[in-house]
Amino acid sequence: MVKTVLPWALLAVLAVAAAYYFGDNQNKEEIARVEKQIVEMKSQRDSIKNLVAVKDSIQKILQSRVTELKIDADNLRGQVSALEELRREQQLNVRRIRTPDDLLIKFSDTFPELPKDKIRVFEEYFRETDVTLKYFGVPIWFSETFIIEHQNSENYKQQRDKLETLDSLNVEVIALNDKVLLLEKEKAQAYKTGYDSAYVNYMDISRLYIDELEKPRFGLPHWGVIAGAAAAGFLAGNAGK
């Protein structure tokens, strides 16, 4: 009977040992695979963090430049408003001139290209109304200057109106772009929060998985395994009779 039991017990012990050996090797391979994934995930996350840091740095530089340009734009708008106020004041000052001599001086200052000796001032009496009016005369071809000045004035007014409209549209576009950038930032933050949460959960689960893989496949101690194998061999030997 002993001769019959021993071979079966030996086979059972060898089978258990083989299960331990191959199972342990499989666990080691799986642990190595998971640990490799953990290293790759950490490396990938570090690369993403470095890239985000570079992008954030560039964004701060660009945002600083945008702020400077906005300040410059506001200053230019202020200068345009000041020029418009100056134009109105100068126009009002011309309207306030009361003597012909002062008006001629202002005209000569405005059009220095016309010599004073070419300017003529004459009077005409209107008997019907008993009114005498003074007239201002210049060489006929100098009238081109007045025509061109008037055309330029009208054209500049139209350009000014268009530029004011363009500036208003640019301000609106900038405001909308700021809203879009804010939404993009909020969306990116949401993705970051989700990614960070998934990363932490993955690391926790991976560590728990490795802990489980590192545990023995059987709960029995070494002597218990042998006894169990012997018992299995005994039963197998009896069954073989």
pLDDT of residue 24: 53
Other beta carbons within 10 Å of 140: 7
The more confident residue out of 235 and 150 is 150
Segments making up each domain of the chain, as ranges: 2-240
pLDDT band at 8 (very low <50, low <70, confident <90, very high): very low
The per-residue pLDDT for 195 is 79
Per-residue pLDDT tens digits for 172-195: 998 898 888 888 888 888 878 887
Give the C-alpha separation, 119 to 145, whole Å: 14
19 pLDDT band (50/70/90 cuts)?
Answer: low
What is the pTM for the complete model shown? Answer: 0.58
Asked if 106 and 95 count as a contact pair (C-beta separation under 8 A), the reply is: no
Task: Read off the pLDDT of residues 144-170 as tens digits, 9 standing for 90 and up.
Answer: 999 999 999 999 999 999 999 999 999
pLDDT (average), residues 99-121 = 89
- pLDDT one-digit tens code per residue, 26-83: 677 777 877 888 888 888 888 888 888 888 888 889 888 888 988 999 999 999 999 9
